[in-house]
């Protein structure tokens, strides 16, 4: 095809540098929800694993986990409603069940998970304060842990899939955001429970010692998925890696503080409560920054027409299963 030079357009492709895509309208409500929803799912998963596979001490720790999970899920519906352009119509989300829309599936998953989280927290509260609350003994603990864990795995990961199912190059070039967010949810769940146990003097150290290798493994999975995401995204990841605005948040914050520091603290740091608490705080801060940088970076990505043209240069590969 013939190409003509244009004095106005310059050597770059496109139409006066105007964006091809519309920037996302999602802001702090969404990345806060992504973090808190992930944190709630993560703590629920850790608590359920402790309940189902742990010893007596771990079961006592699992009660703390269920209470944390409940506390983290509480603001989530409010954040999601506030984010809407028409908050009074939030119930319209419940008109339909639509498998092609990760947001529709997410709402139903969030309802299922919230029910499990609330019931588990109710039962845990009865155990923690020493005398059972109404109906709390009647709740099937193991069944709640199993069903709730399935819902929690969905809540932890669907947020990343939701971002992948868009046209924003940063979010949709790779399909590894779901795995990254799920691993981040699990590691922040471990960190939150570790922090709570490190601060509670009455709880024995043994559960805390069990959490450490799990946190190392979860952070390693999170780091590997994030590296895979960055590699697959190629040019599309640039807005969060190299820009002044987001680069610091991603490399120093999400990767440095959120993954590398806690890993170092667990692997070479001293094994006492203060060190465990500190590395947990780092992992949690990193979890917030990861969601924040990726949501905010989506705006920069959508507003860069050159990346959009690069992203859509070739037809998508045939082997899409």
Partner 1 sequence: MSEPQVSNAGARTTDGTMRGPWHGLRAAVAALSSLRKFEPPAPRSVKGFFTDTTLCIGCKACEVACKEWNQLPSEPPRWTGTSYDNTGALSATTWRHVLFVEQIPESRQTPRWLLMSDVCKHCANAPCQEVCPTGAIIRTEFDSVYVQDDVCNGCGYCVVACPFGVIDRSPFDGGAHKCTLCYDRLKVGDEPACARVCPTRSIQFGDLAELRARAEQRIAELHARGETSAYLYGADERVLEGGLHAFFLLVDRPDVYNLPAHPRRPVRNARRGYLMTAFTAAVLMVIGMLGFARR
**244 part of the interface to partner 1, by CB under 8 A:** no
CB of 304 to partner 1, least distance (A): 12
**210 part of the interface to partner 1, by CB under 8 A:** yes
For partner 1, which stretch binds (CB under 8 A), given 18-26, 116-124, 191-199, 238-246?
Answer: 18-26
Contact code string over 80-99 relative to partner 1, x by CB under 8 A: ---xxxxx-xx-xx-xx-x-
CA 207 – CA 191 distance, rounded (Å): 13
Residue 117: name the closest of 73, 158, 79 by CA.
73
Name residues contacting partner 1, limited to 287-306 (CB under 8 A): 298, 302, 305
3-class SS at 16? coil
CB of 135 to partner 1, least distance (A): 28
**Alpha-helical runs (H) found in 17-101:** 28-53, 56-73, 75-83
**24 part of the interface to partner 1, by CB under 8 A:** yes
Nearer to partner 1, 3 or 129 (CB): 3
For partner 1, which stretch binds (CB under 8 A), given 137-145, 182-190, 192-200, 248-256?
Answer: 182-190
The binder of partner 1 chosen from 74, 75, 77, 104 (CB under 8 A): 104
**165 part of the interface to partner 1, by CB under 8 A:** yes
CA 312 – CA 242 distance, rounded (Å): 22
C-alpha dist (Å) from residue 295 to 74, 104, 159, 208, 246: 22, 19, 11, 33, 10
The binder of partner 1 chosen from 116, 191, 218, 281 (CB under 8 A): 218
Nearer to partner 1, 136 or 235 (CB): 235
The binder of partner 1 chosen from 60, 186, 246, 276 (CB under 8 A): 186
**Alpha-helical runs (H) found in 165-304:** 169-172, 177-199, 205-233, 238-241, 244-247, 261-268, 273-302
Q: DSSP class of residue 234?
A: G
The binder of partner 1 chosen from 114, 117, 120, 172 (CB under 8 A): 172
**147 part of the interface to partner 1, by CB under 8 A:** no
Name residues contacting partner 1, limited to 250-279 (CB under 8 A): none
∠287-213-44 over CA atoms, to 5°? Answer: 55
**231 part of the interface to partner 1, by CB under 8 A:** no
CA 149 – CA 40 distance, rounded (Å): 11
Nearer to partner 1, 44 or 138 (CB): 44
3-class SS at 108? helix
């Amino acid at each position: 095809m013939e190409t003509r030079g244009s004095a106005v357009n310059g050597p770059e492709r496109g139409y006066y540098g105007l964006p091809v895509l519309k920037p996302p309208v999602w802001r702090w409500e969404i990345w806060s929800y992504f973090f808190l929803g992930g944190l709630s799912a993560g703590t629920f998963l850790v608590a359920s694993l402790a309940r189902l596979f742990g010893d007596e001490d771990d079961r006592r720790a699992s009660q703390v986990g269920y209470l944390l999970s409940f506390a983290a899920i509480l603001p989530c519906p409010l954040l999601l409603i506030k984010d809407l352009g028409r908050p009074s119509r939030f119930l319209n989300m419940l008109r339909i069940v639509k498998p092609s829309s990760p947001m529709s599936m997410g709402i139903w998953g969030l309802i299922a998970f919230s029910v499990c989280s609330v019931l588990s927290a109710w039962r845990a509260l009865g155990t923690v304060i020493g005398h059972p609350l109404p109906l709390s003994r009647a709740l099937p603990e193991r069944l709640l842990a199993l069903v709730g864990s399935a819902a929690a795995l969905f809540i932890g990961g669907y947020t990343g899939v939701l971002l992948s199912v868009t046209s924003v190059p940063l979010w949709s070039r790779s399909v590894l955001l779901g795995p990254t967010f799920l691993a981040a949810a699990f590691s922040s769940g471990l960190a939150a429970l570790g922090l709570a146990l490190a601060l509670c003097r009455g709880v024995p150290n043994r559960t805390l010692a069990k959490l450490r290798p799990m946190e190392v493994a979860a952070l390693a999975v999170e780091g590997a998925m994030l590296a895979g995401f960055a590699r697959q995204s190629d040019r599309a990841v640039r807005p969060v890696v190299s820009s002044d605005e987001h680069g610091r948040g991603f490399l120093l914050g999400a990767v440095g503080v959120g993954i590398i520091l806690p890993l170092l603290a667990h692997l070479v740091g001293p094994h006492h409560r203060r060190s465990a608490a500190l590395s947990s705080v780092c992992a949690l801060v990193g979890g917030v920054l990861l969601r924040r940088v990726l949501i905010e970076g989506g705006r920069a990505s959508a507003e860069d027409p050159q990346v959009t043209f690069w992203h859509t240069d070739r037809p998508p590969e045939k082997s899409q299963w």
